[in-house]
């Protein structure tokens, strides 16, 4: 029983670390990408930011891929222990993996 409790703490630590990285990535996302719809903004009279910080863009990409790696490791542990014990399956881990992989692919190929 102590082994399952320690494993739950490990999963909780990995989950909290992954979600914390995802929230940090959201905080720096605004300065790490240009405004996309320039014509729309100019027609509405809004100010447009034409430049962005390329260092933060690379940092954002690394953070998102690290988040995906943490969630993948956590998913593997969760899959193994859910099939070898009575512990249930955690839903937030695949959700974090899916969102971080999608964001990583978006930043890698679109921005």
pTM reported for the whole predicted model: 0.73
Cβ within 8 Å of residue 45, ≥6 positions away? none
pLDDT in tens, 84-111: 777 777 777 888 888 888 888 887 887 6
Mean pLDDT of 29-44: 63
Domain boundaries, the chain: 1-110
DSSP code, position 30: G
**In the chain, what is the straight-line distance between the N-terminal and C-terminal CA atoms, in Å?**
48
């Amino acid at each position: 029983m102590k082994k399952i409790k320690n494993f739950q703490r490990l999963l909780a630590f990995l989950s909290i670390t992954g979600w914390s990285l995802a929230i940090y990535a959201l905080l720096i996302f605004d300065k790490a990408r240009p405004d996309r719809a320039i014509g729309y903004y100019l027609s509405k009279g809004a100010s447009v930011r034409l430049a962005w910080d390329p260092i933060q863009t690379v940092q954002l990409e690394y953070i998102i891929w690290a988040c995906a790696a943490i969630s993948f490791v956590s998913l593997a542990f969760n899959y193994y222990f859910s099939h070898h014990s009575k512990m249930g399956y955690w839903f937030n881990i695949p959700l974090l993996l899916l969102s971080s992989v999608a964001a990583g692919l978006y930043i890698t190929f679109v921005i």
